[in-house]
Amino acid sequence: MAGQATVLSDDSTLSKADNLFFKLESVLTLLGGIIIFLLVFLAVTNILGRWLFNYPVDGYIDWVEQTMAFFAFLGIAFTQRQGGHIRMDIIVGALKGRFLWFAELVSTTMMLLLTLVLIYGSYLHFYRAFSIGDTSFDINLPTWPAKLIVPVALTVLALRLILQIWGYFRALKSGSLEPVAVPLVEDAATLAAKEAASVSSAKIEDQI
């Protein structure tokens, strides 16, 4: 299931850290959106230049390849915080209370371990490209900036996972039904109602 889950807040240190870190994640996601906008502008320029002047953007494919890593990874931690990644909730959705938080704690810990491995591997990939001066085929763009963004974005994701592990551990310890700083599991009907309300509010704003 995918969608934006509810994330609660309070006056605890965990919640304050969650909200502060969410600002960083939001900035990175906004940056990814800006890059997508610039890429669309580049695509339009390339098409019009080829069509009107028979002069496309030099190295267009190289630019697209290099920017894909930015908008693909910059929002990964933001999506994790919002509970927006696709996952199977068949079993987890049936759990309640401490059983649910234990399952979430285990799965998030496993995700963190996998992310740490990916950080190590992607950093080595970046360092190799940086060391040998690897460039793109057409206009010789350096590839290391695009490869660097992967371990950087994954590091932000790892920090987000640590915060969520903290949240699930607190929930497991207290037995709270509504813990803070973690995306709450919601059924399909609740998610559908949220999406419908979001669409309705957007239409009202457009009419205004």
Two structure tokens written together for 101: 């938080």
Closest alpha carbon to 157 in 86, 85, 77: 77
Q: Which pLDDT value is given to residue 162? A: 98
Q: Which pLDDT value is given to residue 2? A: 53
Q: Divide the 208 residues of the chain into consecutive groups of 10 and give the mean pLDDT of each group.
A: 76 96 97 96 95 92 94 96 83 85 95 98 98 94 96 98 97 91 76 65 59
List, as one string, the DSSP characters of 155-199: HHHHHHHHHHHHHHHHHHHH--SS-BSSBPP--HHHHHHHHHHHH
Torsion on CA atoms 73, 31, 157, 76, rounded to nearest 10: -50
Q: What are phi and psi of 93, to 5 degrees?
A: -65, -20
Q: Which pLDDT value is given to residue 84? A: 86
Q: Which pLDDT value is given to residue 7? A: 92
Question: Cα–chain-centroid distance for residue 27?
Answer: 11
Neighbours of 174 (CB within 10 A): 11
- Rg of the chain over Cα atoms, rounded to whole angstroms, equals 21
